[in-house]
Structure 1
Amino acid sequence: MNLLQQTMERIQGLDQEMVGKARERVDSLIKPPHSLGKLEELAVQLAGISGELYPEFDRKAIIVMAADHGVYEEGISSNPQEVTYAQTMFIAKGITGVGVLAKTAGAEVVTVDIGVKGDFPNDAGVIGRKIRQGAGNIATGPAMTIEEAIRSLETGIAIAEAEIQKGANLLGTGEMGIGNTTPSTAILSVLGNIPSEEITGKGAGVGSGGISHKAQVIKKAIETNRPDKDNAIDVLAKVGGLEIGGMAGVMIGAAANRVPVVLDGYISTIAALIAVSIEPKVKHYLIASHASAEPGGKKASELLGIQPVLHMEMCLGEGSGAALAFPLVDAACRIMKEMATFSEVGLKI
């Protein structure tokens, strides 16, 4: 808890003086007012985060947290649970969706085993930070202890800070874990006070019982564990997942170092809800990449209060949406630095 508490105490809000200067410059660029839409808001946010009018984010890294879930035992997924292990290996090799998209964005992919069932070879390229061999079955008991939940958050903080110390100045969050839309939806149901039936989707492939069975499993998990919606760590421990805690920790760690974080889709957004519930100022450092195709995706974004910049009908996960949105961060920086203002070209508007 010491690392979590100390990190939270370091988080500050945006540099409001720089926000004002950035807003003034954006509004004076040679274009119709607000014609660059969300790109203008992003440029202002990045200036406020960095404290620089012309920031540059040339060292990008996507941190992929991987873990399994005991709730798989309830038949909520059509995919073999072993896919988590295999896909984590493939992510580390750079041959999955996030690997390919990260290459196009000039980003590194950092793969972390925070709770995958099974152990990886030393040469797999996977960072070993396993807290336990998968979360518990939330339909019959808690996903983890409070201590393990805090460890998952602190693991994310430590990984983020290690990457920042190596030079990363823009992070993305990603995950791998068969069945993890189930705990994600449970968290959303609790924090948003939304019936599970309204926000449960098929995830990467729903089990033979269909979406209605999955929604009932989520409802049962909440009734069994009775998480306290006003205590995000309690919610994470009782109905969450290790990779969700890990991603939330990445966001907290990045915010403490004034580094922006690009969220992936649904599960990353749920992790953001945990992070922001723990420390509201984390929200200033978050950028939502794409609108997830999951039914709970829109509700999660609304609850977080950050609208995605892309609508691609994607639901891959892994951090793929973050990689796809990285060039938009570059574009926002370039319009600030390279577009002229009306006064600079001698026009009075």
Structure 2
Amino acid sequence: MSQQQWWQAACRQPDSAAEAAARARQAQLTKPAGALGQLEAIAIQLAGLQGCEQPQIQRPWLSLFAGDHGVVAEGVSAYPQAVTAQMLHNFVAGGAAVSVLARVQQIPLDVVDLGTIDLDLELPGVRHLRLGAGTANFAQGPAMSVEQCQLALAAGRDALLRAQAINADLFLAGEMGIGNTTAATTLACALSDATPAQLVGPGTGLDRAGVAHKQAVIERALALHGSQLAEPFEALRRVGGFELAALSGAYLACAQAGIPALVDGFICTAAALCALRLNPACAPWLLFAHAGAEPGHAALLASVQAQPLLDLGLRLGEGSGAALALPLIKLACELHAGMATFQQAAVTERQA
């Protein structure tokens, strides 16, 4: 890509003075230093991102991106592709896990169909963008055209713009797409030093033979595309997916707009890695919700130097882990703002 694209534009810089003020406040709260662990770190990080000593999360937003994957033709999934479209119906009908989590917490749920095998699908409450009947089989050629990949990245940016319209202060995202652990694993291998053997996992429930076959398909795809994968955009369009590109675009748009993003599980972490390769300056704006059960997730989290909030053995996707982590982030802010200082509480501080 010789000409600079929108995702390469400057990202906002965190407010170092607000972060320092928040750190100083934490040192004065009525508790031993560091006693609240990551909750202290989250509050301090959000202070820098929001530019105020006492950050708050009042208007979270959740976008869920869906798309089908042509690589499913290689037999890499335990479920048929029809499930993607079926789950879109479940999301807006309120029956999916993330639908429940969003409803209970009153989070707007923005469901975006980027392109399933059912191009005639029409569901109230779903944005149907129809970039194609899913991606092409990347074990045989590029998953997306240049235009499709650009449109998918822009779909993520557009979701952030919708969040901005309600003055959202935290952007959550999820995904749905049969075959997307294969795409995420292949993309992550292309963008890092990890091998398929280190990252491949059962996804929606493959047995040992299925995982071995999935690994072989990924290795074949990486060999097919070869040196073309060295450039991040090319890697994304060749072995990624519509929803992976939209997630990456959303994370980059968040960093450019100055809105923190809460990254969900394995798929979303692969998209975050892609966003970091496309524009490394987005790093401070990415918070990581949980360590998932997919075997490669720990390696991916290490590659982006992430410290996830939860470790519950989750492997659902959909943004469910991010939605589950949201109360912790809110409570981190409430503790930071609501606890008394030693002086206010007339409590003796630790002796120097």
**Residue 14 (str. 1) matches residue 33 (str. 2):** no
- Structure-1-length-normalised TM-score: 0.95
Of 223-232 and 282-291, the range deviating more from structure 2: 223-232
Counterpart Cα distance in 2 of 1:132 and 1:234: 18
**Residue 129 (str. 1) matches residue 106 (str. 2):** no
Q: Residue 12 of structure 2 contacts residue 257 of structure 2 at CA under 8 Å; is this kept in 1?
A: no
Counterpart Cα distance in 2 of 1:290 and 1:283: 17
Structure 2 counterpart SS, 1:343: helix
Counterpart Cα distance in 2 of 1:26 and 1:243: 39
Look up the match of 1:309: 309
What's the offset of the Cα at 1:121? 5.1
What's the offset of the Cα at 1:338? 0.4
Q: Residue 76 of structure 1 contacts residue 207 of structure 1 at CA under 8 Å; is this kept in 2?
A: no
Look up the match of 1:158: 158
Counterpart Cα distance in 2 of 1:309 and 1:119: 38
Which digits, 9 at most, give the CA deviation of each residue in 1:157-216, with x for residues without a partner?
A: 011112211232211110000010001111121222222122211101227951111000
Q: Which amino acid aligns with 1:31?
A: K
1:142–1:227 Cα change, 3 Å: farther
Listed as ranges, the gaps of 5+ residues in structure 1 are none
RMSD, aligned α-carbons: 1.9
Listed as ranges, the gaps of 5+ residues in structure 2 are none
Look up the match of 1:238: 238
Look up the match of 2:32: 32
Look up the match of 1:217: 217
- Structure-2-length-normalised TM-score: 0.94
Counterpart Cα distance in 2 of 1:125 and 1:344: 49
Counterpart Cα distance in 2 of 1:43 and 1:113: 34
Counterpart Cα distance in 1 of 2:6 and 2:322: 27
Of all paired residues, the percent bearing the same amino acid is: 34
Counterpart Cα distance in 1 of 2:241 and 2:310: 26
Counterpart Cα distance in 2 of 1:228 and 1:123: 37
Of 94-103 and 177-186, the range deviating more from structure 2: 94-103
1:120–1:41 Cα change, 3 Å: farther
Q: Which amino acid aligns with 2:206?
A: V
Q: Which amino acid aligns with 1:95?
A: G
1:120–1:308 Cα change, 3 Å: farther
Look up the match of 2:62: 62
Counterpart Cα distance in 2 of 1:14 and 1:48: 5
Structure 2 counterpart SS, 1:66: strand
Look up the match of 2:98: 98
Counterpart Cα distance in 2 of 1:181 and 1:61: 24
What's the offset of the Cα at 1:82? 0.1
Structure 2 counterpart SS, 1:107: coil
Q: Residue 175 of structure 1 contacts residue 317 of structure 1 at CA under 8 Å; is this kept in 2?
A: yes
1:154–1:271 Cα change, 3 Å: same
Between the two proteins, the alignment pairs up a number of residues equal to 349
